[in-house]
Amino acid sequence: MYQYILLPFIKYASFLNVFKYITFRVGMAALTSMLISLIIGPWVIKKLQEFKFGQEVRKDESVRLHELHKGKQGTPTMGGVMFTFSVVLSTLFWADINLPYIVIAVTGIILFTLIGFADDYIKIKKKRSKGLTAGQKFLSQAFLALVLGVYLLHFSEITAFASEIFLPFLKGTIIHNSEWFYLLFIVFVITGTSNAVNLTDGLDGLAIGCTIVASLAFTIMCYVVGNKVFCDYLYLEYIRESAELSVFCAAMSGAGLGFLWYNAHPAKVFMGDTGALGIGGALGIVAVLIKKEIYLFIIGGVFVIEALSVILQVGSFKLRKKRIFLCAPFHHHLEFMGWKEPTITVRLWILAIIFAILGLSSLKLR
């Protein structure tokens, strides 16, 4: 909306030309979303307490885990609403809302947040411990992913190479896929990322810290893919609208910093599925839009580790009746090993930074 509010006054104040530059708007989007999150945080936490949207620490799932986390009982959850609100408001102001990519990103994070909100609401108010069934959750996520896939394959600026998958560290593509295969691949990327972030959200500040790192990495990646000079130099496919997505990703990183203020140990609020599914869905959508799906698995390496730990644990127990980890997801395994919660969180943040640097480096190492 900036172009309608600020740019008409350029003829009276030439310094407003700075708002035309994406790099400036990226910084302002991050700052704006952070301030919004910081300002509305106390009010959101108060309202969540009034509505009795509190975290329930279940004893029947693991007695030891209950002992470790019983102090979190009743902590307000569903705080992801303040994250998404901050991202959306900042993006709508600082990004070009006429571009389809921005509309898709904003719509996507809202819809995935609503899926998470429904899941949390059912858990808390309907007293159904699992919230939405696995089928309901997956079908909702998959439907949104399929809609995006159809758009990219038939109506977007990347239609000519939408079904191609680009590998890190290599020039070219893995394979020119059929449309049906790529639609399934998109479903895997978006639903997988959404649920992986959800699995990571088990310790104070862990998921949101990794989100900040991943969002910053994609801020850079979106800008590079949307810059013709950089794309020619790095042998990347140029996607014009990608550059504007850097504003959206910057807003995510800023909102993450604001949320972390209240989510740092000891947390005053949890994001819940409301935030985790929204964040994961948004990261997956951005990766698909800029054709960097495989890069997401590197940049979001901590999310991948957490998800794989659950898959391996469940698979091993069903096939061999033995567990690989003391507890899954992986951060709980570290807790059971005796690591303190803040130590686990900070060390996984460090790992997230390493993965992000590796993912960004792969743009050049080709």
pLDDT at residue 364 in the model = 83
Collect all residues with Cβ–Cβ distance below 8 Å to 190 and sequence separation of at least 6.
141, 144, 145, 148, 281, 284, 285, 288
Angle at 52 between CA 49 and CA 58, to 5 degrees: 115
Q: What are the sequence ranges of the domains in the chain?
A: 2-163+173-290
Cα distance between residue 79 and residue 48, in whole Å: 8
pLDDT at residue 19 in the model = 74
* pTM of the predicted structure, to 2 decimals: 0.94
Q: Structure tokens of 155?
A: 């109506």
- Cis link prior to 266 (omega < 30° from 0)? yes
φ, ψ for residue 97, nearest 5 deg: -75, 0
Contact 215, 29 (CB under 8 A): no
Cα distance between residue 334 and residue 306, in whole Å: 11
pLDDT at residue 9 in the model = 63
Q: CA dihedral in degrees (191, 199, 109, 94; nearest 10)?
A: -130
Q: Structure tokens of 44?
A: 């959101």
Q: Structure tokens of 305?
A: 């580790």
Cα distance between residue 342 and residue 204, in whole Å: 8
pLDDT at residue 222 in the model = 97
φ, ψ for residue 173, nearest 5 deg: -125, 165
pLDDT at residue 173 in the model = 62
Where helices occur in 95-205 by DSSP H, the ranges are 100-125, 134-154, 179-200
Cα distance between residue 333 and residue 344, in whole Å: 10
Contact 192, 284 (CB under 8 A): yes
Task: State the 10-residue block means of pLDDT for the chain, 366 residues long.
Answer: 67 71 94 98 95 79 78 91 98 94 97 96 80 91 95 83 83 72 94 97 96 98 95 89 96 98 96 96 97 96 97 93 92 94 97 97 83
